[in-house]
Structure 1
Amino acid sequence: MRHGEYKTPGGKLVQVDCEVIDGRLHHVQVTGDFFLEPPEALDAIAQALEDAPVDASEEELAQRIQRALERFGDGLELLGFSPEAVARATRRAIE
């Protein structure tokens, strides 16, 4: 299992744990001391990263996350982190 962390400018910690199998991300888990509403959005973030290629850039990873979160519309609330923060923690886990 690989582990990456990123502390956002606001001081919130984002952690990503994952495995790399055949050059792709698997068993992705996203945790941290941030706030997210609705809670199901956390699963959507992890699912967005599942099967992503390990050579995906931070920008590509953040776009995958953003697309997955669009389905929550105006009901989505991210406090203390962003798709970019998760992408950065993911890249750190990979590297």
Structure 2
Amino acid sequence: MPGGKLVVVDLRLCEGCLRGVQVSGDFFLEPDEALHAIDAALEGQPVDADEQALAAAIRTQLAPGVMMYGVSPEAIAVAVRRAIDPYLTRQESDA
């Protein structure tokens, strides 16, 4: 994230979709429950969803008035792609 904020995404890939998504980091959300909405927005997204699609899914799921400090839907989407892409590259090279 620009400005040095940490965004961490833990997830599993199952049948071409994101599962068990948990976003964390040194950012703040108001209300705190918005983090659950972000996780839910990413849950079930296709493995090949690009950053724009992931960010759009997050924005759609967030309630009006949610404040994000030190993070953005785009930054979270980048973290998701960074979590997925090395795994997919390894899979392709093993095939």
| Displaced runs of 4 or more, over 6 A | none
* Alignment RMSD: 0.6
Q: Which amino acid aligns with 2:8?
A: Q
Q: Percent identity?
A: 56
Gaps of 5+ in 2: 86-95
Higher relative contact order (CA 8 A, sep 6+): 1
2:84 to 67, 78, 94: 94
The whole-number CA distance in structure 2 between the counterparts of 1:48 and 1:59 is 13
Q: How many residues of Structure 1 are paired with residues of Structure 2 in the alignment?
A: 85
Q: TM-score with structure 1 length normalisation?
A: 0.87
Higher Cα radius of gyration: 2
Structure (1 or 2) with the greater strand fraction: 1
SS of aligned partner of 1:25: strand
Matched, 1:68 2:61: yes
The whole-number CA distance in structure 1 between the counterparts of 2:14 and 2:4 is 32
Q: How does 1:17-28 map to 2 (within 5 A)?
A: 17-28=10-21
